[in-house]
Structure 1
Amino acid sequence: MPSEFKDKVREQFGRTAAGYVQSKGFAGGADLEEAVRLLKPTPEDSLLDVACGGGHTALFFAPLVRSVVASDLTMAMLKKAQEFISEEGRVDNVMFREADAEDLPFPAGSFTMLTCRIAPHHFPDVPRALREFHRVLRRGGRLVIIDTLLPDDPEIAEFYQAMEKMRDPTHVRAYRREEWTEMLQEADLILHETRVFPKTHDFHDWAKRAGLKREGIQNLNRFLMEAPEKVHDFFQIETFAGEVETYTDQKLLLYASRPEKK
C-alpha cells in the first residue's frame, strides 16, 4: 500500500472512528449471521478480523472462538474498537494489533479463521491482501469476506464508484462477483459459496459517518438526485422534497478456505 495513501486512510478513519463504532449498520445483520453459519466457529478456533473498524465483527465472533485478533491500519480506530469492546464487558479474548491488510505482521499459519467486512474497497492491492490472507491461515483455514458488490451495468457501476469517492476519498473501488472469484482463485483460495444481501442506508447518517460537512453532503445529495432513472431504480433511491432519504446497495459475502494440501 503506497505510504501517502496509507497516511490518507489513517487520517480519514482517525477523524471518523467514533461514527463507525456507533453505527448500528455495522453492529449486526444478516451478513454476520450468515458468516457464522458458514464458518461454523468452535472454541478451538483462532480468528483474525482484518480491518476491524469499530470492532463489531470481532465482538460478534468473540464468544464463539478461543481468541480473536482485531487488526486495523488506523491506531485511532483500534483504540475506539478496544473501548467499545471493553465497555460491552462480555468478552476477554480479543486482542488488538495495528496492521496493514496487504502486509500482515503475523507468522504463516497463525489463524484457523479470518474475516474482513466492508473494507476491501479501501485496499489499493486486493490480490496482495488475499495472498496475505492465504499465508496467515492454516491449511484448511476458513475465511469470509464481505464487501459492496459492484453492479454489472457499466453505467451504474461508474456512478457508484463516483458516488463513493465523493463521500470518502479513501475509497479505491468495489468489485463484481466474477472479479472476486478470479482474485480468490489466483490467491490459491477455494471459493465455496457466495451470498448477496441488500443493505439500506440512511443517506445523512451514511454521509456524515464519512466526515462530510454540509457542502459535501449537499453536493452528494445533488449527485444522487440528478442520477439517471435506471440508477434511481437500481439503488432504490428514496427522496422527499428534493432530499435523498435512503438508498440501497448490495453486499457480497464470499466464503472460502485455504486448501488442506498444496
Structure 2
Amino acid sequence: MSEQRTTATGGMETAYGFRDVDAGQKQGLVNDVFHKVANRYDLMNDLMSAGLHRVWKEAMVTWLNPPKRDGWRVLDVAGGTGDISFRIVDASGGNAQATVLDINGSMLAVGKERAAKRGLSDNVEFVEANAEELPFEDATFDAYTIAFGIRNVPRIDVALQEAYRVLKPGGRLLCLEFSDVEMPILDKVYEAWSFNAIPRIGEIVAGEGEPYRYLVESIRKFPNQQNFAAMIGRAGFDRVTYRNYSGGIAALHSGWKL
C-alpha cells in the first residue's frame, strides 16, 4: 500500500496523492478537495486522528509560546478554519494579532464565521492568497505557523522561502505535519486504519470518500522528518529541529530566521 516518499530535493509539485499530474495542475485539484471538505474539516480531523490533532496543536502553541504583549504578529498559513490562530490568540492573553492566510475561500468562510462567534474578529484577519506568493512586505511577522497544510502546497521550497522572507529577524517558523511513523507495529496499524477506515468515514460523515483518500495518500508522499528538516534549512532557517508526536504520526518542525 505504501508509496515512496518524496525527497528533500522535491517531488511534491506533481504528486496528487499517489497520482502524478502535470505541473500546475495540482493546485486546482487540491482546491477542489478543500472546497468539498471545508464544513466538515475539523470534525474529520478528529475522526482521522482519534482526537490527537488537538493535543498536537496545543503542543505546537505551547512550543511557540506567544508573548503576552501588544504588537506581536503571527501569520498562520493554510489555516482557513482559524483553529491554530484562535489558540495562539488565547495563549497570548488576547494580545497577539493573527493573519490567517489560505488559498481556499470555503475554508476561510468557515474561519471568519468562527472568529465572529468567538469574539475574535479584532484579533484575527483572513486573507485569501497563495503560500507560494505571500502578499506581505519583507520582515512583517514575528512567527509563521502552518498545520497540516504544507504537504498540499505544490512548490514547498518556494513556500518555505516566502516564509523566511516575511519573517522578521529573530522570527520563527513552526510547521506541524503528518509524518513518517517510526514505531514498529504502529506503522502497520496506522497504515491499515488510514487506507481502509478514513475514506469510508469520509463517505459517511462528509458524503464523499475520495477527498480523504487524497489526504491519506498525500501523507505517504510527504518527505520524512529528516528530509523535510533539510528543506527548511535550505530555505535559510537556522537551529532547525523537530519533535515527533505519537510515534511519528505527526512531527512539529521549528526553524529560526537569525
TM-score when normalising by structure 1: 0.69
Preserved contact between residue 116 and residue 146 of structure 1 (Cα < 8 Å): yes
Ranges in structure 2 where 5+ consecutive residues have no aligned partner: 1-12, 14-22, 200-210
Given the alignment of the two structures, is residue 171 of structure 1 paired with residue 218 of structure 2, yes or no?
A: yes
Identity over aligned residues, as a percent? 23
Preserved contact between residue 232 and residue 240 of structure 2 (Cα < 8 Å): no
**SS of structure 2 residue aligned to 1:181:** helix
Q: CA RMSD in A?
A: 2.9
Q: Runs of at least 4 residues of structure 1 off by over 6 A?
A: none
> Which whole-Å deviations, capped at 9, do the CAs of 1:80-138 have from their partners, x for residues lacking one?
11112211235621000011111111111110011100111112221111101100101
Given the alignment of the two structures, is residue 257 of structure 1 paired with residue 234 of structure 2, yes or no?
A: no
* Structure that is richer in strand per residue: 1
TM-score when normalising by structure 2: 0.70
After TM superposition, give the deviation of residue 139 of structure 1 in Å.
0.8
1:1-262 aligned at under 5 Å gives the runs 3-23=24-44, 25=46, 29-42=54-67, 43=69, 44-63=71-90, 64=92, 65-90=95-120, 92-151=122-181, 163=195, 167-168=213-214, 171=218, 173-198=221-246, 250-259=249-258
Aligned positions, number = 206
Preserved contact between residue 21 and residue 81 of structure 1 (Cα < 8 Å): no
After TM superposition, give the deviation of residue 146 of structure 1 in Å.
0.4
Q: Which residue identity is paired with 1:87?
A: K
Preserved contact between residue 152 and residue 176 of structure 1 (Cα < 8 Å): no
Structure 1 CA distance for aligned equivalents of residues 45 and 228 of structure 2: 27
User: Which structure exhibits the higher relative contact order, with contacts defined as CA atoms closer than 8 Å and separated by 6 or more residues?
Assistant: 2
Structure 2 CA distance for aligned equivalents of residues 196 and 152 of structure 1: 9
Structure 2 CA distance for aligned equivalents of residues 6 and 31 of structure 1: 26
Structure 2 CA distance for aligned equivalents of residues 150 and 128 of structure 1: 23
